[in-house]
Structure 1
Amino acid sequence: MKKVVVIDDERAGRDLIKEYLQDYPELIVLGEANNGVDAVKIIREFQPDLVFLDIQMPGLTGFEVLQKLTEIPQVIFSTAYDEYALKAFEVHAVDYLLKPYTKERFAKAVHRIKKDNEINNINSLADSLLQDQQKYPDQVLVNKNKKLVTLKVKDILWVEAYGDYSKIHSQNDVFVSNNGISTMEERLSPDLFLRVHRSSLINFKQIKTAEKYGKGYVLKMNNDSMVRVSRGYVEELKKLIF
């Protein structure tokens, strides 16, 4: 559902928009105004997702209304003046309906709203994925012979609890980290690492074999080390089985 406000200084203009909107039950008209001053008030009150906005109105123009707002909703201009079209798109209007317009033209404007929303959703998803990628490192610094060396995360086979610390197992080395196993789980990407025991975290792309062992499993990693999967974590492992 999207909240809608209709702003037009002519009743006929407002009524036409509301009539056309009856074909779109997901767009709910919460209020209307016939001048710029009331438009600002009603937009602030209802915080709509979409505003159908006239341009030439008593009090304030449609553009001046937008300047008064801290958060601007999606806007479809509905006006009898064609000279403002360029300016309308400069303020990122979804569409510009030039009166008189048909029901078909109105439908195209509504379709643009949906398309605009889809693009925004895709952009939001992309931003979210980018943030996740930035959250989890591709490589880490580990202690080796009193020096810090880089280790690619994909080369970590598994992580083992070591008291309040952790042991990081790679193909040929074992490194001790000051971080506990729970902290390691938080800092390593869930797209790569899986908790299989209260004391173990594995890189599931580094599993060589998995064998049933009682109510759990035993995993052989690519360096031939063996890691037990306790029964409390079996269901997570089963998600990897096809």
Structure 2
Amino acid sequence: MMKIKCLIVDDEELAIDVIAEYVKRIDYLELVGSSNNAVDAMALLNQHKVDLLFLDIQMPGLTGLQMLRNLSDRPEVILTTAYSEYALEGYELQALDYLIKPISFERFIKAINRFFKIRQSQIQLPEAETNKSTSDAFIFVKSEKMMVKVVLSEICYIESLRNYVSIFLKDGKVIKTMNTITNIEEKLPETQFLRVHRSFVIAIDKIDSYTSGSFKINKQIIPLGRLYKDNVRAKLEHLSIE
């Protein structure tokens, strides 16, 4: 997986330390540098390839927003500040996200997931192996710093949690990965898997029973989201006899 190269620009050393520590916790992020002022940061952007910029707004001399206006070929930008009143201007400048200090790790993860949604090509999963029979098809997902093979026929359901996605297998094993459920869903065959909720994808052949509002798989009750009902009904109609 390609490393996402990050640059931190903030005039507060503590703020740099906090974000740098968060970056270190996520294996596919790489910190290429930091700066306490916008002028030096612009020089760093010319020296290094940067995919993601964490940019403070209130800095002496050149502010973060002024710097942003002067960047022609800029990376994705996540603004960081203690002042919420700059949010509208930040979004007008097409900042990816806006983090209010003190920044929690949970909120940081949400911003990173937003980045990956936009840049899915950076974390693209390999397509399910189509040269194999259906029972042998597989994908690889990153889990605990390793690329783990997941055989599609072993998957019961997939659940999106706050900071990660859990893949539940029929032998009871659970694989956790720092990815998005949408990114994983796109790699799964539509004939075998079904998105039933913003937080759940299920394997159709693992459904034990279902009602108008939920599914039961291996004693686990999985909700059917209102926005997914029509699509689910259409997909399952040819399999149902009433």
TM-score where L is the length of structure 2: 0.48
Q: Greater Rg, structure 1 or structure 2?
A: 1
